[in-house]
Amino acid sequence: MTKLRRAELRDVPGMADIVNGWIDGTKWMLRVVPVEEIAEMLTEGLDHREIWVAGDPVQGYLSLDSEAAHIWGFYCAQPGNGIGKLLLDRAKQGRSFLSLNTHVPNKGAQLFYLREGFAPVGEMEEGVPSTLGVHEKRKATGIRELRMEWHA
């Protein structure tokens, strides 16, 4: 069984590999953040977010702004193996609300979120910054995002 734990500095390279692999493997995703900057953004996020990782080496992670109850980053190396559900269930613990943004073309993620009780609440205009990193360092992708919310 995959165990979840809080992310540590040693997890950053694995988390960055997952994000970079997703960007490079997703035809519609634009690379607006250089490969080497992803790890820097994740390192900075350790001090600002509640970040949970699955596996050692890291197979997936979820980055949560606890105060706003907003998921800023949620990536799995191999979707469909239950790791995403474990991470999302952890984020839901003790909460009655969560929000997140997902890219409009990311239909697989949207189906997953719908199965997990999230509902779409609106699209964000083109040019809204990407949710890959710490809020202040986000860069515009030009890809529309869908805001989704979960209520217990």
Q: Is the pLDDT of residue 138 over 60?
A: no
pTM: 0.89
Q: Is the pLDDT of residue 110 over 70?
A: yes
Q: Going by C-beta distance under 8 Å and a sequence separation of 6 or more, which residues neighbour residue 2?
A: 54, 55, 59, 82, 83, 86
Q: Which domain holds residue 89?
A: 4-151
Give mean pLDDT, residues 47-55. 95
Q: What percent of the chain has pLDDT over 90?
A: 80
Burial of 49 (0-12, 13-18, 19+ CB in 10 A): buried
Going from the C-alpha of 65 to that of each of 56, 82, 103, the distances in angstroms are 23, 23, 19
Give mean pLDDT, residues 100-120. 96
How far does Cα 41 stand from its chain's mean position? 13
Q: Which residues pair with 111 in a beta bridge?
A: none
Q: Tell me if residue 87 falls in helix, strand or coil.
A: helix
Return the pLDDT at 136: 42
CATH number for the domain that contains residue 55: 3.40.630.30
Number of domains in the chain: 1
Q: What angle do CA 10, 74, 141 make, to 5 degrees?
A: 105
Provide the token pair at 96. Answer: 């009655």
Q: Which of 17, 25, 19 is nearest to 57 (CA)?
A: 17
